[in-house]
A and B are shown apart, each in its own frame.
Chain A
Amino acid sequence: QKEVEQNSGPLSVPEGAIASLNCTYSDRGSQSFFWYRQYSGKSPELIMFIYSNGDKEDGRFTAQLNKASQYVSLLIRDSQPSDSATYLCAVNAPGAGSYQLTFGKGTKLSVIP
């Protein structure tokens, strides 16, 4: 059973601070890792993906991957109220006939002005 674990939160950070979101996964065969953002009442949208150990930066977002520890994180620098959303960690592992995403339950982030 492939599992992806996230702290459900809510995680509250003041505007301008760094928000740190964490995710662990159980399947060592997992190959790529995604962070989706979901605003309330909306559909998930991809903000970052990573497949190599280390850091990957895109603007205010940094994804960090440690395959040995089966851990992936997302850092949001200079957090803005518009970053308030649920962040879903997703893991992609080869499955029967297709590469499927297994999602965590999401971490709700609230950025306080």
Chain B
Amino acid sequence: DTAVSQTPKYLVTQMGNDKSIKCEQNLGHDTMYWYKQDSKKFLKIMFSYNNKELIINETVPNRFSPKSPDKAHLNLHINSLELGDSAVYFCASSQEGLAFYNEQFFGPGTRLTVL
């Protein structure tokens, strides 16, 4: 009955590799997000995506690309991994259309370590 799930929970890889993180939500929400939390615990939005629109945070390198096969899934693909990509990546979802209140539900996170 997990609301927002992510796989894998841990990901250790070498520089230069390409990897993907998967996210699924069973809440029926129509908006999903990817956040990056660095070693200092700063949680920063990377992307938000709903049926209508992908919002790209322009500070995110284009090596990062979100892919949404349907509204319950939002995967994150990362090309040419760099040391600075090491962080915890959180997926979240919310129900758009509730005006200014959109509680976001977070997945358990994926800890990415780039060696």
List residues of chain A with CB under 8 Å of any chain B CB.
31-32, 34, 38, 42-46, 49, 51, 86, 88, 92, 94-103, 105-106
**B111 to chain A: closest residue by CB:** A41
Residue in A44, A49, A97, A106 whose CB lies within 8 Å of B101:
A49
Pair A99/B102 contact, Cβ less than 8 Å: yes
Pair B102/A46 contact, Cβ less than 8 Å: no
Pair B55/A31 contact, Cβ less than 8 Å: no
Q: How large is the interface on B (under 10, 10 to 19, 20 to 34, 35 or more residues)?
A: 20 to 34
Interface of B, helix, strand, loop or mixed by DSSP: loop
Distance in Å from the Cβ of A45 to the closest Cβ of chain B? 7
CB neighbours (8 Å) of B102 from chain A are 92, 99
Pair B53/A97 contact, Cβ less than 8 Å: yes
List residues of chain B with CB under 8 Å of any chain A CB.
31, 33, 40-45, 48, 50, 52-53, 55, 90, 96, 99-109
